[in-house]
Amino acid sequence: MQLGQVLISENQIADAVGKLAGRVSRDYDLSRIVLVGAMDGAVCFLSDLMRAFAQPVDVTTVRMRRYDGTHGGEVTVSWLPLRDRIEGREVLIVEGIVDTGETCAVLSERLSELGAASVDICALLDKPSRRTHDIKATYIGFEVPDVFVVGYGMDYNGAYRSLRDVCVLEGGESELN
Ligand code: IMP
Ligand code: MG
């Protein structure tokens, strides 16, 4: 397993983040929105996106886990915001990468149960070739091929999260974690 080429550079990411914030601003009343960052993969994307809006937005986080380490298994939520942060709000899930779609599907359902007025998804990266769950992600930064990527918040077993660019991990199958 070794770090491969830069797939999406820091500059390309910065440009995409600005454009996504612009689209969200046109579509939503920002005073009603709450960004829900899916930790830990969305850590960089959330912190850049939330500061790209021209007015303050509410921000909170969730943490998703798979029971079965790196090879899939059932997605569970290990922390969620309290109901009073979500009820009646326009929720925008902020995710680093949508792969099978299961994480977003489970999270959308839990946020709806908490009384969200609406739930949509903003993901920096989308790997549509591996989708098994029918999820709607209105805001996507980049489509990526079926390679394992790291950097800008995304990790391989905890490594490479702090890279500024999104890079390919050579020899990494598309594992889930
Ligand atoms: P999904 O539930 O299959 O859509 O997977 C989403 C989660 O799997 C993301 O939040 C990431 O944590 C992880 N993931 C999927 N693909 C990759 C990848 O290429 N690199 C790093 N993490 C990934
Ligand atoms: Mg991960």
* Domain residue ranges in the chain: 11-146
pTM to 2 decimals?
0.94
Strand blocks (E) in the chain: 2-8, 33-39, 58-66, 75-79, 90-98, 118-126, 139-143, 149-150, 166-170
Two structure tokens written together for 161: 């999260």
The CATH number that domain 11-146 falls under is 3.40.50.2020
Q: Does residue 177 register a pLDDT over 50?
A: no
Hey, what amino acid is at 90?
Answer: E
Cα–Cα distances (Å) from 27 to 30, 64, 126, in that order, read 9, 27, 21
Q: Is the CB of 98 under 6 A from ligand 1?
A: yes
Exactly one of 48, 99, 126, 155 is catalytic; name it: 99
Q: Is the CB of 126 under 6 A from ligand 1?
A: no
In the predicted model, what is the mean pLDDT of residues 8-27? 98
Q: Does residue 174 register a pLDDT over 90?
A: no
pLDDT in tens, 65-102: 776 545 667 888 888 888 999 999 999 999 999 999 99
Q: Does residue 175 register a pLDDT over 70?
A: no
Give the pLDDT score at 136: 84
Whether the upstream peptide bond of residue 40 has omega within 30° of 0, thus cis, is yes
Give the pLDDT score at 69: 47
pLDDT in tens, 113-169: 999 999 999 999 999 999 999 998 999 999 999 999 999 999 999 999 999 999 999
Q: Is the CB of 37 under 6 A from ligand 1?
A: no
Q: How many C-beta neighbours within 10 Å does residue 60 have? A: 16
Strand blocks (E) in 22-84: 33-39, 58-66, 75-79
Of 67 and 171, the structure prediction assigns the larger pLDDT to 171
Give the pLDDT score at 65: 78
Q: CA 104, CA 38: separation in Å to the nearest integer?
A: 9
Handedness of CA 14, 16, 18, 24 (dihedral sign): negative
Cα 32 to ligand 2 centroid, rounded to whole Å: 29
Q: CA 122, CA 126: separation in Å to the nearest integer?
A: 10
Give the pLDDT score at 42: 98
Give the pLDDT score at 77: 86
Among this protein's residues, is 126 annotated catalytic?
no
